[in-house]
A and B are shown apart, each in its own frame.
Chain A
Amino acid sequence: DVKVTQSSRYLVKRTGEKVFLECVQDMDHENMFWYRQDPGLGLRLIYFSYDVKMKEKGDIPEGYSVSREKKERFSLILESASTNQTSMYLCASSWTGVSYEQYFGPGTRLTVT
């Protein structure tokens, strides 16, 4: 079974803090994705990566950065957390050219106070 894990299920941070969300997959997938999910807005793509050290902006990259130093790990970084970044964050991975069959992690519910 493909396994995508995320470092925390629930996280509470203060405004201005630097926040790291980690995602690890064990299927040797080339592609990894970070989404946020908000009520009434659906799933929105923040950043994605097709290879180690490679990143592409998604639809809402502002306020976020990412890091992919190893193939299995994709980190989402909030340089200075703000209350409007309170959300559910979902990581996903897939094989090259097969982005439709994405395997999702369990999600991290981040609250910024």
Chain B
Amino acid sequence: GAGVSQSPRYKVAKRGQDVALRCDPISGHVSLFWYQQALGQGPEFLTYFQNEAQLDKSGLPSDRFFAERPEGSVSTLKIQRTQQEDSAVYLCASSLRTGHIAGGHNEQFFGPGTRLTVL
């Protein structure tokens, strides 16, 4: 398919385990975003990549969270020593370009998310 894909769709981890969440953006999309969505809440920004460069990681909750996009396409969000408060849906989004285009916007296309449950 041509959309954003994420894997796994569901992940159950024991507290203290490390997890890795994968995002395959739409081919050719320059921008990639990660969001965290707690139950009953709206998504909250975690981090942003422009190609392989991580330009904004201001939303990462702690230094246990790490994201990379080494070749400017697939991205991985890694959470070390998971805690129960990390339980959430992790959404990935990509957009074709960056910034503003003549006052318009670059639509973000979202993947289905990975639901992480930490026991």
User: Is A bound to B?
Assistant: no
